[in-house]
Amino acid sequence: MIAVEVRYYNMLRHRTGAQRETVALPPGMTLRAALEHLITLHGPRLREMLFAPGGELSPHLVIFHNQRLVRRDHDHSSGDPGPGLSLADGDELMLFPAISGG
Amino acid sequence: MFPYRGYAGKWLYVDLTTGEIEPRAYEATLAEEYLGGNGFGTRLLWEHVGPDVAPLSPENLLIVATGPLCGTPLPTSGRMEVVGKSPLTGIYGDANAGGFFGPELKFAGWDAVVFTGRAAHPVYLRVADEAVELRDARDLWGLTTSATEDHIRQALRDEKIKTATIGPAGENRVRYAGIQVTLQRSAARCGLGAVMGSKNLKAIAVRGHGQVTLADPDRFRQLNRDLRRRLRENPVYPAVHAHGTPGIAALMNALGRFPTRNFQSGSYEHIDRIGADALEARAFVRHLACYSCPVACDKLYRIPDGPYAGTTLHSVEYETLSALGAGIANPDLDSILFANRLCDDLGLDTISTGRSISFAMELWEKGILTAQDTGGLTLEWGDVETTLKLVEMIARRQGFGDLLAEGVRRAAAAIGRGAEAYAMHVKGMEIPAQDGRAQRSMGLAHVTSTRGADHLKAFPTIDETGYPEEARRRYGEGYLPELADPLASRHKPMLVKDGEDFGAVVDSVGLCKSGGTFVLAEIYWPDVAAALEAVTGMEMPVVRLKCIGERIYNLQRCYDAWHGVTRADDALPRRFAEEPSPSGNARGQVIDLEPMLDEYYTLRGWDRSTGWPTEEKLRELGLEEASPWQRPG
């Protein structure tokens, strides 16, 4: 298993009741699968904050993987992280509502 | 007879030198071409305050203006605008505030109050519906803004009076003194509190009992219901309501866009100690809302214990968490809140205050300033005691504070020895809490703002979080993915231009930029056009409204050009182009403004070499007489 640190902010902190946690995941688990795993940990009401009704990542969720912004419209050639990236031991995920303004 | 509803149809002209107060009729053409608020102020400033007028002279105007939607039941319609020539920048200046003052002025039957001259001794203006008088304020001079409000309410035996006041900073003409609008909000930027102080005007106190009339009440009711529903259903609404603007601090920190140590970094290592979650846990008391606002982004905070126990604040902004927190490397949340309250009471803009202190701290770090320069003060990063002392010294222009009260551009020029490189300003105004290396649109917005470094003129929120929904909704699929990518430059000139024009309209009608127009990105051109039709009865197709926004912004640019501004002034400090960001998602990034500026000027119909509106563009907007090409620069 690998250890991934997950940090929750704003309404995601409210919903999970956690500011940060370390979760144990199978090696190579994708970011998308890891988010599904978080729903099993924190209950089904977390789903609406992570996924859109169609199953894709919520457009109102912002994720950073190891301090880099995850692109929902991931272009593999760009080198930016996307939802399909494989997580590694010691990785960090930061989850925010897509709030802006200031 | 003024033909439009929504307006009071008259405004006050107050000559403080003579003491004359003259009611004036609102010209229909002014409403038709400039709406009100920001547009009204821009037009008056351009007509009456030329380059020969010094900002702190009696001839400068202080224009306090509302718009036609202000004071209606429409969501977020509580904003007021203050316009004048800025003593900080020497060019066009404005500031905007929410709260309840703007609607109260409308309820009293006035769309605006315009001050000229200088009173022989301190006075305040009392507006009680049709009764308007200047009252002696000699016993208020020297008081804080909150004490001034208390005294006025007690003296007039009316707790519901709404005030706009200056504190000691405005009296002492600190170049970035703001105007406190009740305890809750500030018209903070551009130093218009110093203009008020230069006029010996301590406060404006307003009480009204009328209401704003509507041209089409049925259409208005439907529109109002629809907008309120959309705001509440907006997926970002819960987060904005829960935390207000501090809610973005941790996210901006991750983007590398949260100015730290005078912009040496865009991520603060102690963000978790000063961000929204810490703020909520430490000091949240209850939600507060401005007039008619369902978003309620303000909060009442109270420090529960410790050295600042009992300190209350009616608002804390994201900007202040950077300016008085990360910007000076101060991880002590309680001291940030206390300094914020101190700035509100003394009547200081927290952004320029914090940036002036962080500028001095970096000069200290670099060895450019020593104790000999500072009167013995040591300026180590994060030194809370020195920071609080400096805030007082700035407001009272004491010792080293007197130099910082001039703003970073003037202070750097006086210090010399290479200090200019660390003065983080555009056109003399201190840069707010965005970093163009982390968000290209903000870098461009800072330099094209007509009031100097500012995020709120264009307020490009669309690409802050790197997600495309709002971009798609407003601009269409064709602009993606770049428009939603904070590190992409493509399409950002379009985003900035559209934001500036729309923002000019929002500030002219009396709506809020944080309550749905830019933050939440829910209310847009068609909504404001429809609201104007329902409220005023003016025919307002979107194309006409866009033209008005463009007219206002172009006139502000012409005003700046008249005062010598050219393309050369549309520039960021060297740091942003030469020092790669060390932070978060922006690591390794610098910003190259020139290609974006070329495209921006082209979209605007401005000359690329001077950055001035072309004669052709001005003709199109009916602004031939404002042409900088026809005036000595």
pLDDT in tens, B401-415: 999 999 999 999 999
| CA–CA min distance A28, chain B (Å) | 23
- Closest partner residue to A11 among B242, B250, B272, by Cβ? B242
In the predicted structure, residue B100 carries a pLDDT above the cut 90: yes
Predicted confidence band at B557 (pLDDT cuts at 50, 70, 90)? very high
Across the A/B interface, how many CB contacts are shorter than 8 Å?
105
For B347, phi then psi, to 5°, come to 80, 50
Model pTM? 0.97
The verdict on A53 touching B (C-beta cutoff 8 Å) is no
| Contact between A64 and B277 using a beta-carbon 8 Å cutoff | no
User: What does the domain layout of chain B look like in residue ranges?
Assistant: 10-207, 235-430, 440-521+541-630
Query: Residue B279: its chain A contacts at CB < 8 A?
Result: none
Query: Residue A50: its chain B contacts at CB < 8 A?
Result: none
CA distance linking residue A89 with residue B401, whole number of Å: 51
Query: In chain B, pLDDT over 70 holds for what percent of residues?
Result: 100
In the predicted structure, residue B455 carries a pLDDT above the cut 60: yes
**Can you tell me which residue has the tokens 């900035």?**
B496
Taking the alpha carbons at both ends of chain B, their separation in whole angstroms is 39
Query: Looking at residue B632, what is its pLDDT?
Result: 54
Predicted confidence band at A100 (pLDDT cuts at 50, 70, 90)? confident
Query: Looking at residue B465, what is its pLDDT?
Result: 82
Query: Looking at residue A74, what is its pLDDT?
Result: 60
| Contact between A100 and B461 using a beta-carbon 8 Å cutoff | yes
| Strand-by-strand arrangement of the A20-25 sheet | A20-25, A2-8, A92-97, A61-65, A68-69
CA distance linking residue B58 with residue B42, whole number of Å: 18
Give yes or no for a contact between B358 and B328, defined as CB atoms under 8 angstroms apart: yes
pLDDT in tens, B178-224: 999 988 899 999 999 999 999 999 999 999 999 999 999 999 999 99
The CATH-assigned architecture of domain B235-430 is: Orthogonal Bundle (1.10)
Tell me: cis bond preceding B481? Omega within 30 of 0 counts.
yes
CA distance linking residue A44 with residue B595, whole number of Å: 47
pLDDT in tens, B576-585: 999 999 999 9
pLDDT in tens, B291-303: 999 999 999 999 9
| Contact between A10 and B242 using a beta-carbon 8 Å cutoff | yes
Query: In chain B, pLDDT over 90 holds for what percent of residues?
Result: 97
Q: Which of B155, B158, B190, B163 is nearest to B174 (CA)?
A: B190
Q: Which of B511, B510, B604 is nearest to B557 (CA)?
A: B604
Please state the rounded mean pLDDT for residues B519-539: 97
- CB environment B482-507: b (16+ within 10 A), e (fewer): bbbbbbebebbbbbbbbbbbbbbbbb
Please state the rounded mean pLDDT for residues B56-64: 98
Give yes or no for a contact between B363 and B369, defined as CB atoms under 8 angstroms apart: yes
pLDDT in tens, B149-176: 999 999 999 999 999 999 999 999 999 9
pLDDT in tens, A5-34: 999 999 999 999 999 999 999 999 999 999
Q: Which fold has domain B440-521+541-630?
A: 1.10.599
Give yes or no for a contact between B557 and B613, defined as CB atoms under 8 angstroms apart: yes
Please state the rounded mean pLDDT for residues B14-30: 98
pLDDT in tens, B352-401: 999 999 999 999 999 999 999 999 999 999 999 999 999 999 999 999 99
- Closest partner residue to A69 among B255, B455, B520, by Cβ? B255
| Contact between A9 and B250 using a beta-carbon 8 Å cutoff | yes
| CA–CA min distance B245, chain A (Å) | 7
- Closest partner residue to A69 among B318, B455, B585, by Cβ? B585
In the predicted structure, residue B94 carries a pLDDT above the cut 70: yes
The verdict on A32 touching B (C-beta cutoff 8 Å) is no
Question: Which residues neighbour B400 within 8 Å (Cβ) at sequence distance 6 or greater?
Answer: B360, B373, B374, B375, B377, B390, B393
Query: Looking at residue B470, what is its pLDDT?
Result: 85
Beta bridge partners of B203: B124, B165
Please state the rounded mean pLDDT for residues B77-92: 98
CA distance linking residue B268 with residue B329, whole number of Å: 8
Query: Residue A11: its chain B contacts at CB < 8 A?
Result: 238-239, 242
In the predicted structure, residue A77 carries a pLDDT above the cut 70: no
Query: Looking at residue A78, what is its pLDDT?
Result: 60
pLDDT in tens, B239-263: 999 999 999 999 999 999 999 999 9
**CATH of range B10-207; options 3.60.9.10, 3.40.50.300, 3.40.50.10470, 1.10.3720.10:** 3.60.9.10
| Contact between A96 and B319 using a beta-carbon 8 Å cutoff | no
User: Is residue B229 classed exposed, middle or buried when 0-12, 13-18 and 19+ CB atoms within 10 A define those classes?
Assistant: exposed
The verdict on A40 touching B (C-beta cutoff 8 Å) is no
CA distance linking residue B81 with residue B272, whole number of Å: 34
Predicted confidence band at B265 (pLDDT cuts at 50, 70, 90)? very high
Give yes or no for a contact between B320 and B299, defined as CB atoms under 8 angstroms apart: no
CA distance linking residue B412 with residue B408, whole number of Å: 6
Query: Looking at residue B39, what is its pLDDT?
Result: 99
Give the nearest chain A residue to B320 (CA atoms): A102
User: What does the domain layout of chain A look like in residue ranges?
Assistant: 2-74+83-97
Instruction: State the number of CA atoms in the 13 A half-sphere of B317 facing the CB.
Output: 21
- CB environment B320-351: b (16+ within 10 A), e (fewer): bbbbbbbbbbbbbbbbbbbbbbbbbbbbbbbb
Task: Name the average pLDDT for chain B.
Answer: 97
Please give the ipTM for the structure prediction: 0.93
> How many residues in chain B?
633
| Contact between B277 and A94 using a beta-carbon 8 Å cutoff | no
The CATH-assigned architecture of domain A2-74+83-97 is: Roll (3.10)
Please state the rounded mean pLDDT for residues B93-109: 98
